Structure 1
Amino acid sequence: MINSRIRKITATVAALLIFTFLGYQIYRVNFAKQVTEEALYKTVSEKIQATGYAIRSENVITNPYGGVLQYAVSDGGRVSSNGTVATAYSSVATAGTKDQLDSLKNEKQLLTDLQNPGNSYADSLETVGQQISKQMISLLNNSESGTSITADKQQLQYLLNKRQIIAGKSPDFSSRLSEIETKITQLSGTSNGQALGTVTTDKAGFFSSHVDGYENLFPINSVTTLTADDLEKEYPKGTVQDHTVGKVVNDFFWYFACTVPAKDANRFKLENTVTLSFPFASADEIPATIVAINQQDENSDAAIILKCDRMNANLVNLRKETAEVTVNQYSGIQVSQKAIHFETLTKDVKQADGTVTKQTQKVPGVYVMYGTEMRFCQIVQLYGDGTYVYCDPSPSADALMTDDTVKQYDQVIIEGTDLYDGKVID
């Protein structure tokens, strides 16, 4: 008796579950709302992360005088052959005196220039205003980078005074000039400020005050033969000589040699131009040309050798870095990966002899809402990143099995059930 009751209860519960499930499925098909997302025209970059080495033709410079160095050129700055890169002084105080003298002489020259009316009236207020704006930007940039801003401040003050003169005011600089002359005489009459000697470079190029011991790790003349094994080894740091001043990168071109996994190697093509950025070292984006792709076989890592021709204070000090390499950019209609469906379609195709044949093909596409009607639109994919697909906004009619493709601002269905072409949603 008890077993019979248990069987009845079990059968009733099972029946309720079945009816509930069927009811839910009927509701989903007939009443569940479609979720849409607007299709937008966007540009996306195809990026690959790669770790490698900056390889340059570098000439290390040493200081034969000892003492305290005062650099004549900042990192990334150009220096000529036999040009001065630094001056050696016996002490910090001596170097400071030289700084003071240089600053005073520069200020004297600027004030003397302002006393000549022809030098001011040749410019307009608008021109000087633009110069002031540029000088303020330069001052802020140098302040943030840690570069001395004394000369920038003097130049800004010069331009502000110049604007006053053009506007009809006549500042009197005689008192300040007299004060400057007195200070110059006092400082020049001491032994302070006398240099031990100047440090020069016998080669022209871009200067860097940083020497890391890896300057001769990879010879520049064999850079295009480097392999993935060469670049993936761990190398001990080289010896840095005593009294090293810095180095000069003496070639306009330099290289970034990096490794990529086998699956990414075919995304690089010889002679193509890519864009390099170093997110952990610099905000710069620089163009580079692919000059070598060295891969043992299709299943092994590849060494990618990139040639660059840009240089600044950030780039001149790069060595082993992780880079983002932009290998391509795509512009197209962005749709969610979730929105893509595959449908088998048939269309009439007119042949060259005038006959019409049927063509059947399984194609990718999305469902788009046109008012209350659902339409299937084929897509031609340009690029996909796993989350979104970027589609050709204007593929040829021959490439399509549907009358149209997805367009900007279309309402694309990303969630829904029982989707089919021509369905009307009340």
Structure 2
Amino acid sequence: MSYKVKICLDAGHVGSKYNQSPVVKSYYESAMVWSLHLKLKAALEARGFEVITTRATIDTSMGVYDRGAASKGCDVFLSLHSNACGTESVDYPVIYRAHDNLNGADTIALKIAKKIGELMGTKQAGRRATRKNSSGGEYYGVLRGARAVGTPLYLLIEHSFHTNTAAAKWLSEDANLEKLAQTEAELLADYCGVTASTEGKTAIMGEARATAQQMALFSRSKNGSPKLTACSLEELAELFLEEGKAEGVRGDVAFSQSLHETGYFKFGGIVQPGQNNYGGIGALNGNRAGQAASFPDPRIGVRAQIQHLKAYASTEALVKECVDPRFSLVARGAAPYVEWLGAADNPSGKGWAVPGKGYGGKVVSLLGQILAQEVPQPPQMPEAGDGVPQWQKDALDKLVGAGVITAPDYWRSRLSDGVTVGEVMAIVASTIQES
């Protein structure tokens, strides 16, 4: 059984309205770090970490020392914050690490701090710091608690200053917190040598396992009237297999994705049936109906989706001319597995769907149901001689051996036929020896 690196995450303050920004009144440090620590938890777990948190809810009260001590048995403790000071222009991110650089904490602390600064666009570069109390130990109670229980790496991360207008506004955006979570998770994964497990994952590249008939039958079982304007369901399934084979992409995976994106070809969302767009390409959150990519015919629409999947799953060049309008926007090879198509489930934080938690799992589930689809078999015509009891065949062989039957091939072909009285009399007569 492989060992999992265990991390304890601490959202720095209790309650939803603690430490209000004096310059951006809608910002509260406690609300920001609560949201960030949940996103970071998901990002770390997607990369293979085991993650615990110090508190069950945002309103759970817990002493600072006890929060640090909650990391007992963990490899890493992180307490998340934003800083404050009396000077509005100060904006550098800072990470407090062990005062004696225990286990070389300085390296990862500085790396994370600088990256946060780059991501937030702060004017002052990220830095690391230490702070001791009058007894010479850690000043911050959470760090003191973590050290007391023997946690090897403990850090207090100040995500810039919420007394800075630009920083407080940036930290108020949910999408920016997602960026922070993915970036910090990636740096920690690299530092701890953690790689996401690919065991049991479904590769996007490869040969399809489902047949076009299975794909069409399953889809029709969920929607008997697919809104396809330029081809039949069976023809569309064949197109997915043909275009997928050309680029080395599993066409059954792409078809399964289309079922999820279109609701079994019911559409009804941003993409309209006549756009021949079966993967939601260009259908971004907030777009109005029809505001997505359109393709001249079903084949080109399928080809674009196959190419977009290949962009995520592989770094290989396209075989056919690119028709995917968003191909160049993809981080090539970022999602080789279906389960990683949702950014929230992807170790790199990138994906077809954003945030897309559980997106790939839903596609895999549909693929499994397609593969389990039974296809009616046509009735089989019995071969010549089938249905003839073995004792009749044995009787024929005995009569041939006794010289009673002299034309075995003729009679063997007629074993299942009726015979006339005259034929029976002839066979019996042949057994009578004349004196």
Aligning the two structures, in what range does the TM-score lie when normalised by the shorter sequence? Answer: under 0.3
- Bigger relative CO (Cα 8 Å, ≥ 6 apart): 1
User: If the length of structure 2 is used for normalisation, what is the TM-score?
Assistant: 0.23
- The answer to which structure has the higher strand fraction is 1
TM-score (norm 1): 0.23
> Which structure carries more helix by proportion?
2
